[in-house]
A and B are shown apart, each in its own frame.
Chain A
Amino acid sequence: MGTGTKDHAQLSDVFNEDEARVNWHDETLWFVRAKRDKAAHNIPEWEMLREIASQIKDNVLSDLHSYLLEFEANAQENGITVHWAADGEEHNRIVRQILKENGVDRIVKSKSMLTEECHLNEYLQQHDIEVIDTDLGERIVQLAEEPPSHIVLPCIHKKKEEIGELFHEHLGTPEGMSDPVFLTAAARVHLREKFITRRAAITGVNFAVAETGEFVVCTNEGNADMGAHLADVHIACMGIEKLVPQRKHLSVFLRLLARSATGQPITTYSSHFKKPRPRQTMHIVLVDNGRTKQLGRPDFRNSLKCIRCGACMNTCPVYRRSGGHSYHTAIAGPIGSILAPNLDMKQYADLPFASTLCGSCTNVCPVKINIHEQLYKWRQVIVKEGHADPAKSIAMKAMEFTLSSPSVYKIAGKTGRMVMKYAPFMVNNKLNLWYNQREMPEPPKQSFGEWYKQQDFSKEKTN
């Protein structure tokens, strides 16, 4: 990802060097959050819908074994080939093998966070297979050789002028042209040629129905459909948690998904793929990649209920002011911060701390994942597993010593009031990190405890 070994705080420092840009990023995403609020408030039964969606997903996770078997059998019955991949690497190999068998070395791909998670593009390119991302935002970051910074709005970190430059360089649009309508039209022409000429298409999966063996792909652009309906080979990649039990359950999720994501009442296209076209082959790759492990963690398993709407990112005050790339993982923001430590606790030890635990993420989540509570719980796990900064551990032990003893606390207070560095939130005595941009509280002459001791309340007890 080109972020080296920097953690979220360090990457956020860099992001915050340009304050005007932070304001722009924050306001753009807040606008999406505001649209989400408006859409949700139009549905009086919104909270009930969230509750029902949450219960459906709880049921899926508790009976996943049967649902997977049911889905597989029905999909096969429908003429779809089902593959199973234990991890990202196996997923990539399966995709490559399918393409090889069909003699395809150039493909189109619509948005799939799973393929981002598995780093499919890099893998296929290493094996001389060209991948064209067809979602406009994904195509833009692909041209810029960057990962997406948001799961729904992949290039939300980019300004239109930068996109104009990219298009000038890669698509030959006139220099200095940055009008979104013009740029979108240019991308349409550029990508239409790809749709017409590529023989295999990869799509993600938003929902898969155990009862019928069909899967649903939601887009606004129509790129998944353009790819899949023109290709001889359609490969749909999905995490094993994407199942819903019955077709009618889609009603609940399709009502929630787009409203939560962008404030639209539904995405333009909600395409239900059940059988391949005549002479077309259709494949589904079911991927584990850590999901069964997460399923076995009682405190964290319900993160698998996520439907990838991105609402938690849009509402997160930290995400809006640090940008998606500061999370150095495929899925950024609050949900990414509770998913990533499951995959690699050491590499992502910083992410559960990249939050004030304000709880807004939990409130917007359409499937009621208790995101902020899981962030808190991951912190405990990460510290226990020994991934905390050693200096912080020493500071915490000192704090424990001080705060567990009233007499030590009082002495520390007398000296500490003058020097704020002993305040409990000043981890590791990082006083300068407070003072750089904030004044310190003016120390009072006496603490409340000292004041209280001097009062004479005896006269008050009249009643």
Chain B
Amino acid sequence: MTVGLFIPCYIDQFYPNAAIATLTLLKKLGVNVVYPPKQTCCGQPMANSGFEHLTQGCNDLFTDNFAEFDYIVSPSGSCVLHIKDHLHAQGKKEEAIQIRKKIYELTEFLTDVLKVEKLTASFPHKVGLHQSCHGQRGLMLAQMTELVDRPYSKPMQLLNMVEGLELVKLNRPDECCGFGGTFCVAEEAVSVKMGKDRVADHLLNGAEYITAADMSCLMHMEGILRRQKSKVKVIHIAEILNAEAPVAATGTTAANSNKPLNA
């Protein structure tokens, strides 16, 4: 099995550690991962702004980069959802359809494809899980509070495998943080207010870290936390799932020190 790693543009540029953790974690789990170097963006920022007609370049590039892989995995629910819903490639219709079927957000790839039941990670902290909307309501990574249906949560299932990690209960477990792509600047007042309220829920319930399967929500909440000079940090879920037990302070960087498990 060869997995194509799709690292969304803003993670590539601003949060490389989330991408490194994703890569390392997948390798740790025995997956053969390839990062196609010519990737840029899924086109979502333009499409959500009403400019889907300008995303053809992104679509074609994406299809060229990823058509060859068995699976495509990305640490961003939002970008994955966009590809799943909207990828159309010129002259490569079938390839695009296949990509839409074989692209996975990281946590669902771990629970549904790799069927991970055990992790060696350790993260002895109180953690608040932010359920990013596109992952939750779009990819259905977790049950939604609006629906009358059985509860489940793929990210939570994984976080519960992490040693020492304590999940905090939130008053509003799946309210939007207000990032919303261009919404964050086009509707600044509401976006910021939503972010402040989301952060406050985590703080109120004692979170030391806020995690999510979408870095964009975390970037928005991090901006608010840091402006408030809060000690609470944001961390991508891949970094928690990849966190080594703090046994010896050898200072190894994760990416170089892993032995792949048997696939």
Interface residues of A (CB under 8 A from B): 8-9, 12-13, 15-16, 19, 22, 26, 30, 37, 40-41, 43-44, 46-47, 315, 317-318, 321-322, 352-360, 362-364, 376, 379-380, 382-384, 388, 392-393, 396-397, 399-400, 402-406, 409, 413, 416-417, 420, 423-428, 430, 433-434, 436-441, 443-444, 446-449, 451-453, 455, 460, 462-463
Contacts and interface: CB of A to CB of B under 8 A. Distances in A.
A397 B144 CA distance: 36
Contact of A12 (B148, B181, B190): B190
A426 B45 CA distance: 9
A31 B43 CA distance: 37
Interface string B239-263: 0000000000000000110101011
Contacts of B7: 448-449
A433 B192 CA distance: 10
B222 to A, nearest CB: 7
B93 interface: no
Contacts of B232: none
A416 B189 contact: no
B192 A437 contact: yes
Interface of chain A: mostly helix, strand, loop or mixed: helix
21 contacts: A9-B190, A15-B189, A47-B148, A318-B190, A322-B190, A359-B138, A360-B137, A360-B144, A364-B146, A384-B50, A399-B54, A400-B57, A406-B38, A413-B12, A425-B10, A425-B45, A434-B223, A438-B192, A438-B220, A444-B16, A460-B258
A238 B99 CA distance: 47
Contacts of A400: 46, 51, 54-55, 57-58
Nearest to B34: A457
Interface of B: 7, 9-17, 19-20, 23, 27, 30, 35, 37-41, 43, 45-55, 57-58, 60-61, 133-134, 137-138, 144-149, 172, 174-176, 178-195, 197, 216, 219-220, 222-224, 226-227, 255-256, 258, 260, 262-263
Given A353-B187, A451-B16, A453-B37, A360 B182 contact: no
Nearest to A13: B189
A41 B151 CA distance: 12
Nearest to A378: B50
B185 A426 contact: yes
B184 A363 contact: no
Given A383-B51, A448-B19, A455-B256, A463 B262 contact: yes
Contacts of B48: 357, 376, 379
